[in-house]
Chain A
Amino acid sequence: GNSVTQMEGPVTLSEEAFLTINCTYTATGYPSLFWYVQYPGEGLQLLLKATKADDKGSNKGFEATYRKETTSFHLEKGSVQVSDSAVYFCALSDPLGTSYGKLTFGQGTILTVHP
């Protein structure tokens, strides 16, 4: 079946540091890939997405590139801020189009940014 694996957390960075959160997936075919963010006490929000190989999703200074050859979708940001402290989830949707939009999530990575 489908699966998503994220790097172990938590990740602690100083403000303005470079961020990478690794995400790899297992799926048959070409899934759509997503990064969601969950701020403390809130639900998940879509951060960015990519629907085909070599697509780059970007939003709020974050970006991730769909790499079919390495089955990866790593999240990056050049300069993090304290306000980026949150839990980040990588997810995929079934590539066969028959799963009615069901998402498979990674376990989440906690990011804490210190001033």
Chain B
Amino acid sequence: NAGVTQTPKFRILKIGQSMTLQCAQDMNHNYMYWYRQDPGMGLKLIYYSVGAGITDKGEVPNGYNVSRSTTEDFPLRLELAAPSQTSVYFCASSYFPGQGGYGYTFGSGTRLTVV
């Protein structure tokens, strides 16, 4: 049982480069999320998706794009990388959100450095 799989685990980008962070889950969860974790700042929501073909912005979407062509995959695209995007990125999924109280399943994260 893989859960939520993120690749790559580490990446160094130069300013202006682009890349895609991959996220896949095998639990048939409809809800998927991308968060970034900055030191001492907790986690901030970048984008989320409530099902295949449906995505929406979170708190900090600027500089990122997402797509959700299948239930399993939710890639995060960085265009024109900037030093401010240096962070640890977490993908998460859940079966039933909101007041049902079900928590998320998190991936192990991608540590990205932009130089």
Contacts and interface: CB of A to CB of B under 8 A. Distances in A.
Interface of A: 4, 30-32, 34, 36, 41-46, 49-51, 89, 93-95, 97-103, 105-108
Interface in B61-112: 90, 92, 94, 96-104, 106-109
- A43, A46, A89: most-surrounded residue (chain B CB, <10 A): A43
Interface string B1-14: 00010000000000
Contact of A101 (B40, B42, B97): B97
Contact of B98 (A45, A46, A100): A100
Contact of B103 (A4, A31, A42, A46): A46
Nearest to A108: B42
Contacts, number: 80
Interface of B: 4, 31, 33, 35, 40-45, 48, 50, 56, 58, 90, 92, 94, 96-104, 106-109
Contacts of A46: 103-104
B42 A49 contact: no
Contacts of A106: 42
B45 to A, nearest CB: 6
Contacts of B48: 100-102
A103 B40 contact: no
Contacts of B102: 101
Given A51-B99, A102-B48, 14 more contacts: A30-B99, A36-B106, A43-B90, A44-B90, A44-B92, A93-B98, A93-B99, A93-B101, A99-B98, A101-B33, A101-B98, A102-B33, A103-B45, A108-B40
A105 B43 CA distance: 6
A26 to B, nearest CB: 14
